[in-house]
Amino acid sequence: MLMRPVSYMRFNIPLLAATAFIFTFAISSGQTAPAIDLEARKASVANLESHIAQREARLEEIRQDVVTLDARIEKQREEVTISTGGATQQPSLDEAVDIGHLLDDARKDLRTDVTDLFRFYDEFARGRTYINGLKENLAARKAWLEKNAPAGN
């Protein structure tokens, strides 16, 4: 029985030749990586600074919404928990039912406002984290520009 030699590696000769050709002439022709557009990098820093300022303005709006909502919740809490003084007679059944409905509505409003408050707090915390990431990115971009700026700029 004749045994054929086993070829563990099969080469695609035309592909290898083409690859060798490309590397040989690309390297020897003096081609370099594309030039970095320094002005575009500087513009990206300005754009990022603008984006951060917009985000911080939005966070300030959210913070103000939280303060306003917190004050409203405190007022509602007082209205629900503090009864009006000076009542000398017991309310009628209809008045008692109306008072019960008013208290239920006040509790629902309070619950909704507290839910909104937590949502605002969450949005504020996520926004602050996002802005901190943007500021780190901005600092890295500025450091890169300082390190890679051409002489005379």
Name the pTM for this structure.
0.51
pLDDT (0 to 100) of residue 74: 81
Which regions in the chain score pLDDT beneath 50?
Answer: 1, 3-9, 11, 16, 27-29, 33
pLDDT (0 to 100) of residue 136: 92
Q: What is the Cα–Cα distance from 153 to 146, expressed in whole angstroms?
A: 10
Long-range contacts of 35-39 (CB under 8 A, 24+ apart): 36/148, 38/145, 38/148, 38/149, 38/150, 38/153
Q: What is the Cα–Cα distance from 82 to 142, expressed in whole angstroms?
A: 57
